[in-house]
Structure 1
Amino acid sequence: MSELLFKSFEFARNSFLKNVDALDESIVDVQPAGFNNTIHWHVGHVLTVAEQFLFGFPKKSTNLPANYMELFATGTKPADWNGDVPSVKELLVQLKEQIQRMKEIPAESFNEKLKTPFLGLETFGEVAHLGIFHEAAHLGQIQAMKRVIESAQAK
């Protein structure tokens, strides 16, 4: 992986992990008014989307259970969850493992052109950069949800 790209991804991931790890477990499954999902969902979503962007999950990667698509893909929500749902702690372990697997991606891969452009992006490296943006955006949602939940609980 290009050094700058990896450092950016690692910085975003470490910030994400630090923030989520510091959360009180009692708030991760609360869905506050005005939000479509829970913190728990956001954590699984970040993991699942990064796996899609970087490893072609679910068709090319078996590092995550296939049911993660039904649980955490775009458009899913906790209200529809059935069966085994991994805990936030389990997801954090998988997020840490995922960053280690990212380090093993050959640097030249990031210059590869996509067969079909994705959201105007044309290379694998551009999609990886989108993953960094995506992770940071969801961390912002988690931080906002934490404030709203804690404010409501304080009343």
Structure 2
Amino acid sequence: MSSVFDVQKTIREILLKILDSHSLEQLNKVPDGFSNNIIWNIGHCISSQQVLVYKLSGLPTMVSEDFINKYRKGTKPEGDVSQAEVDEIRTLLSTTLEKTKNDFESGLFVDYHEYTTSIGFTLRHVQGALDFNNYHEGLHTGVIMALRKLV
């Protein structure tokens, strides 16, 4: 499983670099033809990871329900995020990864509520959720790469 966390760490490092190389205005800009922006996609990665790994394991998440609801699938930015929110998201990119890795290694994940994703892939255990999460974060990183060329 160490490679799963190595992949997620690499994705999260890419997202951190994008956060650091874009202004607040750029992070919040929704280009024509898109329904979201860079910061929404990054928040969505964190929110989804928490739901896929923790909630579906019956465990408490590291983020609030408000955070999950703001960035869940099917939502879009309702307004600009503040610098404080960007700073929180920056911190969460690292802390959620480290806590998940530590929790996995300590055997915290015992139960898992089977869930079929929107692409039809059924998650049956936390290992599958962690694998799928990397795929999901990779997709959103690709969207972010397109967005950054338009902001």
Does TM, scored on the shorter chain, surpass 0.5? Answer: yes
Unpaired stretches in structure 1, ≥5 consecutive residues? 150-155
1:130 to 129, 132, 142: 132
1:101 matches 2:99: yes
Q: How far does residue 123 in structure 1 lie from its aligned partner after superposition?
A: 2.6
Relative distance call for 1:65 and 1:121 in structure 2 (3 A) is closer
After TM superposition, the structure 1 stretch with the greater mean CA deviation from structure 2, 103-112 or 20-29, is: 103-112
Unpaired stretches in structure 2, ≥5 consecutive residues? none
Q: How far does residue 35 in structure 1 lie from its aligned partner after superposition?
A: 0.7
SS in 1 for 2:73: coil
In 2, the alpha carbon distance for the partners of 1:85 and 1:22 equals 14
In structure 2, the partner of 1:139 is 141
Q: Deviations over 1:85-136 (max 9, x none)?
A: 9622211111111111022123486996844253233332111111111111
In 2, the alpha carbon distance for the partners of 1:111 and 1:56 equals 11
In structure 1, the partner of 2:62 is 63
Task: Give me the TM-score of the superposition, normalised by structure 2.
Answer: 0.81
1:42 matches 2:41: yes
Relative distance call for 1:21 and 1:114 in structure 2 (3 A) is same
Relative distance call for 1:35 and 1:110 in structure 2 (3 A) is farther
The one-letter code matched in structure 2 to 1:125 is: Q
1:89 to 87, 106, 131: 87
Contact 2:39/2:86 (<8 A) preserved: yes
SS in 2 for 1:36: coil
The one-letter code matched in structure 1 to 2:132 is: L
Which is greater in Rg? 1
In 1, the alpha carbon distance for the partners of 2:72 and 2:107 equals 25
Q: Identity of aligned pairs, percent?
A: 20
Task: Give me the TM-score of the superposition, normalised by structure 1.
Answer: 0.79
Contact 1:40/1:88 (<8 A) preserved: yes
In structure 1, the partner of 2:10 is 11
